[in-house]
Chain A
Amino acid sequence: MVTYIVKRFVYMIVTVFIIATLTFFLMNLIPGSPFNEERTTNAVVQQNLEEHYHLHEPLAVQYVLYLKSIITLDFGPSIKQPTETVNALLGRGFPISAELGIWTVLIALISGVALGVFAALKHNHVIDYMAMTIAVLGISIPNFVLATMLIQQLAVQLEWLPAATWSSPAHMVLPVLALATGPMAIIARLTRSSMLETLTQDYIKTARAKGLSPYKIIVKHALKNALMPVVTIMGTLLAGILTGTFVIEKIFAIPGMGKYFVEGINQRDYPVIMGTTVFYSAFLVFMLFLVDIAYGFLDPRIKLHKEGGSS
Chain B
Amino acid sequence: MVNKILEIHNLHISFTTFGGEVQAVRGVNLDLYEGETLAVVGESGCGKSVTASSIMGLIPTPPGHIKEGSIRFKGEDMTKLSDRKMRGIRGVDISMIFQDPMTALNPTLTVGDQLTEGLRQHRKVTKKEADAQAVDMLNLVGIPNPDERMKQYPYQFSGGMRQRIVIAMALICEPELLIADEPTTALDVTIQAQILQLFDKIQKETGVSIILITHDLGVVAKVADRIAVMYAGKVVETGTRREIFYEPQHPYTKGLLHSVPRLDQKGEKLIPIDGTPPDLFSPPGGCPFTARCPAAMEVCSRVYPYSTVRSETHEVDCWLQDERAKKHAATIQS
Known contacts A216-B117, A216-B121, A225-B107; is-contact A206 B155 (Cβ 8 Å): no
Most chain A beta-carbon neighbours within 10 Å: one of B88, B108, B117? B108
Tell me how many residues of B have a C-beta within 8 Å of chain A: 31
Q: Is the CB of B153 within 8 A of A211?
A: no
Contacting residues of chain B (70-117) with chain A, CB-CB under 8 angstroms: 86-92, 95-96, 98, 100, 103-110, 117
A209 to B94, CA, bound (A): 9
* Docked CA distance A201–B98 (Å): 12
CB distance from A77 to the nearest CB of B (A): 52
When C-beta atoms are compared, the residue in chain A nearest to B87 turns out to be A211
**Using a Cβ–Cβ cut-off of 8 Å, how many residues does chain A contribute to the interface with B?**
23
Q: Does A299 have its Cβ within 8 Å of any Cβ on chain B? A: yes
A224 within 8 A of B: yes
How far is B104's CA from A75's CA once the two chains are assembled, in angstroms? 57
Asked if B262 is at the interface (CB within 8 A of a chain A CB), the reply is no
Q: Which of A205, A211, A213, A301 contacts B92 (CB 8 A)?
A: A211
Any A CB within 8 A of the CB of B142: no
| Shortest beta-carbon distance from A295 to chain B in Å | 11
A300 touches B90 (CB 8 A): no
User: Contact mask B161-197 → A, CB, 8 Å, 1/0?
Assistant: 0000010011000000000000000000000000000
Which of A206, A216, A300 contacts B98 (CB under 8 A)? A206
Query: What CA separation (Å) do A299 and B155 show in the bound complex?
Result: 11
What 1/0 mask marks residues of chain A from 196 to 210 whose CB sits below 8 Å from any chain B CB?
000001110111111
Q: Is the CB of A210 within 8 A of B155?
A: no
Is B310 part of the binding interface, using a Cβ–Cβ cutoff of 8 Å? no
Contact check, A202 vs B89: say whether CB atoms are below 8 A apart.
no
A278-311 contacts to B, CB under 8 A, are 298-301, 310-311
- Is B156 part of the contact surface with A, judged by Cβ < 8 Å? yes
Of all chain B residues, the one with the shortest Cβ separation from A207 is B106
CB-CB nearest in chain A for B122: A211
B50 within 8 A of A: no
Inter-subunit contact B90/A220 (CB<8 Å): no
- Are B117's CB and A210's CB within 8 A? yes
A206 with B108: CB separation less than 8 A: no
Would A224 and B108 count as touching, CB distance under 8 A? yes
* Pairwise interchain contact A208-B117, C-beta atoms closer than 8 A: no
Q: Which residues of B contact A212 (CB under 8 A)?
A: 87, 91, 117-118, 121
A300: which B residues are within 8 A, CB to CB? Answer: 107-108, 110, 153, 155
Q: Is the CB of A209 within 8 A of B91?
A: yes
B106 touches A210 (CB 8 A): no
The minimal Cβ–Cβ distance linking B140 to chain A, given in whole angstroms, is 18
Give min CB distance, B110 to chain A, whole Å.
8
Q: Determine whether B132 belongs to the interface, using a CB cutoff of 8 Å to chain A.
A: no
**Further 12 A-B residue pairs, CB within 8 A, beyond A205-B58, A210-B91, A300-B107:** A203-B104, A203-B105, A207-B106, A208-B58, A210-B117, A210-B118, A212-B118, A220-B109, A220-B117, A225-B107, A298-B108, A301-B155
